[in-house]
Chain A
Amino acid sequence: MARWGMVIDLDKCTGCQACSTACQMENNRLPGENYQDVLYYTEGKQPTPVLKWFPRPCMHCEEPSCMHVCPTKATFKTEDGVVLIDWNKCIGCKYCMIACPYGVRFYTDEKPLVEPDIKSVFPGEGDLSWNPPYKGPQQDNAHGVGIQPHGVVSKCTFCYHKISKAPKGIADLSNDDAANREYVPACVRTCAPTARYFGDLDNPNSNVSRLISDKRGVRLLDHTGNKPQVYYLSGGAGPAVPSGRGGANKA
C-alpha cells in the first residue's frame, strides 16, 4: 500500500497562488476556507523586512493530533496514509481545529469573509452548506469530499477522489505521466513551475523519496511530533540542523 506524501520545493515556488485557485475550484472552497493556501508574511523589521510566502496544504501527518483528539473517530487515516474526515460522524466539536498545529481545518458555519455571502446567494439543499453553480467532485461524505455540510469540519483531502483511483503500486503521480495525469492532486497538477511533487513515501524509488533524501527535505514544526507527510525543500538549508532533538521516536 502506498503512503502518499507531497514535496514542495520552496526555491521553485513563486507564490502565484495557482495551486490555491485550482484547489478552490476542485473542492468548491470559499474565500477564507482554503484547503491549500499560500501564506504571505513579513519577517524582520525595518530597514530589513523580508516578504515571504509559504504554501500550506494539510500535512497528512504520520501522527495526526487532529485524529487523536477526535472523540468520534470522524477524523481517520486511510491505509494509504491520507487523513480524512467522515462528515457523517463529525459532531462539529472543533477539537481537531484546536489540536492541529498547522491551522488547516475549517468550520463552515461562520461569518462570511466577503460580502455578499456567497452561501446565501447559492443556498444549499438539505444539509449542504451551499450549492455552487459549478460542482467539482462527486459528493462523498464518508471521506469528506464534496460540498461541506453544515456543522462539520473540513480540510484538504490530497484530492482523495482523484488519488484513490490511481493504479495500485504506482510510485509517483505527476504531470509527466500522461496516462495517470487525471489522478494528480489539483494543486500539483496546476503548479506552473513544478514546485510540487506527489508520490509514495514508502517507495524508496519514488521521485518524492529521492527528493527528500537528495535535497534534504524538512518538515514544518517537527518538534510537535506530528511528522508531516508534506516535506519542504529549501536550497539545502534544512540539512545539518536536526529538526528534533533526535533519539527515541514514537513508534
Chain B
Amino acid sequence: MSAQQVKGPVNAAMMAGVAALVIGGGLALASLMSNGHAAFNTGSSGITWGLPVVGYVFFVLTSTGLTFVASLAMVFGIKEFYPVAKRCIWLALVTLIAGFTCLALELGHPFRMLWAIPTSFQYLSPLNWMGLFYAAYMVLLLLKFQKINGGDWNSSGSRMLGIASFASVVVAHGTLGGVFGAMAMRPMWYGPIIPLYFLLTAAVSGAAFAVLITYLTYGNESFMPAKVKNLMTGAMPKVFAAALGIVILAVVSRTIIGLWSNADGLQVWDHVVASPWYWIELILMIAAFVMLAKGGAPFFPSIMVIVSLFIGRYEFLISGQAVPLFKGSWVTGLIDYVPSMTEWMIILLAVGIVLAGWAFGEKSLNLAAEPAEK
C-alpha cells in the first residue's frame, strides 16, 4: 500500500487545504484580534450561537459518524469495512480538531475553559459532559490510531481501545444532543429524541465523508483495489442509503410536528419551510437516496448529502433561536441573522484543516493499510 496507488487529487487537496487554512485562519484571526467577537453578527438580542457553532456541530458529528464507520470493522467485525477503517479513524481525528477549532474561536475565553470546566465540574450541565466525553474520545482516537499505524489491529489492547473510542463517542454525541434536547425553553430543540436524531445524522455524515474521501483518494473506481471497490459498490452504499432513509423520515416528521404544534417557539417552522434552503436540503437528501437505492456510485450522493446536512445543521441551530425571548420592540418578529465574513472565514479554516489534514495523512500515514490476512 503506498503512494503510487493514490491516483486522486490528493496534492490538489493539500494545496487547497493549506490555502483555505491560511486565508480562512489569517482573515478570521486578524478580524477577531482587531474587533473581538463584534466581528460576528451574533448578538444578545439576536442569535446567540451563530455560524461557528453550526460548524462545530457539523464537524464533531461528522467525526462521530466516521468513528461509527470504522467501528463497523473494528468493533463489530464486519470485515468489508477494513479497507476504509484506518482512513476513517484519521479523518475522525481531523474533523474533530476542525470542530474544536470552530468552537474555540467562538468562546469568549477558550484558555480559561481548560481549567475552569474540569475544576468546577457542574454535573448538571450537558456542556460539561460533552466536553469531558469529547476530550476522552479524542485521546482514545489518538491512541487507537497510533496502534493501527504501528500495525497493531487486533491485540486485545488495540481492540479495547477501539471499543472504548466507539463507546465514548456514542456518549459524547449523546451529550451534545442533550445540550439542545434538554432546552425546554426552546421547543424547536427540545425533546428526548434529539440525541438519537444526532446519532442518525452523525452516521449519515460519517458515511458521506468516508465515501467522498475514498473517491478522492483513488480518483475513481477503476483505480480502487478490489476490496475497496467492492465496498464502495456493495456494502457502503447500502448502509449509507439505509441510514439516509431514516434521516429523511426524521426530518419530515420533525417538520410536520413542528408545523402542527402550537407551542410558543415552534412558529419558526413556518419560516423554515418558507425558505428555499429547506427544500434544497430535502431534495438533495431524497435525490441522493434514490441514486443510492438504484445502485449508482455513491460519489455524487456523498457530496449532495454533505451539503444537505450542513444546511440542516444551520437550520437547526439558527431557527432554534430565531423566536426572540422577551425582547419587546428591540426585535419585532423573528430574529434576522446573516453570518459575517469573519464567521465564514472560521468555516473556511475548518474546511482547510479537514482537507490538509486528510491529504497529509494520505501522503505520509498509509491510510489504506488494513490488518494482514490471517
Q: State the A residues within 8 Å of B (CB).
A: 32-33, 37-41, 53-54, 56, 65, 68-74, 89-95, 97-107, 109-112, 150-153, 221, 224-225
Closest residue of chain A to B330 (Cβ to Cβ) is: A32
B44 and A107 contacting across the interface, CB-CB below 8 Å: yes
B131 and A71 contacting across the interface, CB-CB below 8 Å: yes
Chain B positions 175 through 213: 1 when the CB is less than 8 Å from some CB of chain A, otherwise 0: 000010011111000000000000000000000000000
CA A68 – CA B112 in complex, angstroms?
19
Q: Return the contact of A104 from the options B41, B121, B321, B326 (Cβ within 8 A).
A: B326
CA A68 – CA B40 in complex, angstroms?
27
CA A65 – CA B185 in complex, angstroms?
9
> Given A32-B44, A95-B125, A151-B37, 16 other A-B contacts at CB below 8 A?
A32-B45, A68-B122, A71-B127, A72-B116, A72-B117, A94-B108, A97-B48, A98-B186, A101-B325, A103-B326, A107-B42, A110-B37, A110-B44, A150-B36, A152-B108, A153-B108
Pick 19 A–B contacts, CB within 8 A, sort by A: A32-B44, A38-B328, A40-B328, A41-B328, A53-B328, A54-B328, A68-B125, A70-B122, A71-B116, A73-B122, A89-B112, A91-B108, A91-B116, A93-B107, A95-B127, A98-B183, A99-B183, A109-B37, A150-B36
A71 and B125 contacting across the interface, CB-CB below 8 Å: yes
Q: A93 — which chain B residues lie within 8 A by C-beta?
A: 107-108, 113, 127
Q: A74 — which chain B residues lie within 8 A by C-beta?
A: 116, 120
CB of B93 to closest CB in A, whole Å: 23
Top 4 closest pairs, chain A to chain B, by CB? A92-B108, A39-B328, A151-B108, A103-B325
Any chain A CB within 8 A of the CB of B38? yes
A68 and B124 contacting across the interface, CB-CB below 8 Å: yes
Any chain A CB within 8 A of the CB of B49? yes
Q: A54 — which chain B residues lie within 8 A by C-beta?
A: 326, 328
B122 and A72 contacting across the interface, CB-CB below 8 Å: yes
A89 and B326 contacting across the interface, CB-CB below 8 Å: no
Q: B112 — which chain A residues lie within 8 A by C-beta?
A: 72, 89-91
> Is the contact region of chain A dominated by helix, strand, or loop, or is it mixed?
loop
Any chain A CB within 8 A of the CB of B128? yes
Chain B positions 326 through 350: 1 when the CB is less than 8 Å from some CB of chain A, otherwise 0: 1111101000000000000000000
CB of A34 to closest CB in B, whole Å: 9
CA A89 – CA B119 in complex, angstroms?
10
CA A89 – CA B110 in complex, angstroms?
11
Any chain A CB within 8 A of the CB of B126? yes
CA A104 – CA B41 in complex, angstroms?
19
Q: Return the contact of B110 from the options A91, A109, A225 (Cβ within 8 A).
A: A91
